[in-house]
Structure 1
């Protein structure tokens, strides 16, 4: 068995396990499993792993560093030219990276300031004009659930204004909210808070119904509180592999 075959078998087993967990979590919450998207967090893993996951039927992939994502997106396109792939930016994003992200990302889940929103809108506009992309950028507002200094995300109080800013821009499409459960907060408490923030947002923006919440260790709690997208890395791909950006 080749190295690729071994890795494919390993990933297939992990993917089956994650899908079983998702199915059980949705059943416990009384939700259809189709309601929750699996987003494979491929940071620090090579494009060949992404290609194998695409072979196994996954479509959505996430990165948290622009400088790692950009060459990986190009390499996947070379490895699997016919693969359908949607790329999400889930890490903190500096405004000076907006231009590059606008060339490869389908979704940015980490919008957390008016200045970043402005930079993304301008970058997408330029990318559309240059033929580097063909549609607006989907955007989620990242919420900092414990408002710890230095952590990505805006406060709950800032969500309405930031969401309105995104929704008003032709280059962007407001899709919902994203958050990470703080280490010092029980996941049920964190995701219940995010669910309430999402409900308030949907009153003004019915189209913004996505809740990106839950990772390898707490996806069951997130699904129970309405998550529509879980971001899974370790449980799917294994321990972090360091690769060159």
Structure 2
């Protein structure tokens, strides 16, 4: 018997894949250079399982309580868990227990907390520096978090020298109201500068459902896709 939700997710995945492939062609890049992260926040573990069955191996969450529960529910699957939301230091222990890549490291104190908890858990946690891209939008960017571009080198050094952590690259959200192409071009520049000192920090996490093409055009290696893949969100009830 057919599963309507599986069919819905398969259709969303096919549409997203077509968009990513078209963006890669336009940018002269190989589709294999770009990792698709399914942002499953507010959706149940059953959707994670269906997506895994459709070949999606990377899952993104932005709330620790929900992420920890899903990671435990789906521990039998070979998945990579991405923590993409703002992270308080008091959640570092939990996140370090399941996340493979934390996209939102924006201050030394958070890096130090993650390091301590990764060592405690006997794990290596990948870290991306969240970069604030807006030129004059301190209120909005402050709410989202993010290190200023001039703060990135020092924070990178802290992460790279912290036991239990591995500096993997950068992440950003395009500021509201700004051309994503220009914003992601700035992120690319920050990434290239970072790699002069840390060559292995090659990840660029950029692009969501509405601006994935601009992200791919500016070198994104990881796309964080929610709505276009899973549909409009409703409150998550476990």
TM-score, normalising length from structure 2?
A: 0.95
CA distance, structure 2, for counterparts of residue 201 and residue 76 of structure 1:
35
Map of 1:210 onto structure 2: 203
Q: CA RMSD in A?
A: 1.0
1:87 aligns with 2:85: no
For the residues of structure 1 that align with 2:214 and 2:112, how far apart are their CA atoms? 34
Which of 230, 240, 243 is residue 236 of structure 2 equivalent to? 243
* Residue in structure 2 matching 1:155, options 145, 148, 160: 148
Residue-by-residue CA offset, 1:29-82 (whole Å, 9 max, x unaligned): 0000100000000000000000000000110000000011111111123xxx2x
| Alpha-carbon separation, structure 2, partners of 1:10 and 1:202 | 40
Aligned to 2:216: 223
Unaligned runs of 5+ in 1: 129-134
Distance in 2, Cα, partners of 1:72 & 1:149? 29
Which SS does the other structure have where 1:68 is aligned? Answer: helix
Q: In the aligned structure 1, how far is the partner of 2:7 from the partner of 2:237?
A: 25
Structure 2: which 5+ residue stretches go unaligned? none
Cα-to-partner distance string for 1:190-241 (whole Å, 9 max, x where unaligned): 0000000000000000000110000000000000000001000000000102
Looking at structure 2, the residues matched to 151 and 65 of structure 1 have their Cα atoms a distance apart, in angstroms, of 14
Listed as ranges, the matches of 1:1-245 within 5 Å are 1=1, 5-77=3-75, 81=76, 83-128=77-122, 135-146=123-134, 147=138, 148-244=141-237
Q: How many residues align?
A: 233
CA distance in 2, matches of 1:6, 1:38: 23
Q: How far 1:149 moved relative to its partner?
A: 2.9
Q: Secondary structure at the match of 2:193?
A: helix
Structure 1 stretch displaced more, 147-156 or 63-72: 147-156
Provide the residue aligned with 1:132 in structure 2: none
- Greater shift, 147-156 or 235-244, is seen at 147-156
Report runs of 4+ in structure 1 exceeding 4 Å deviation: none
**How much does 1:7 deviate?**
0.5
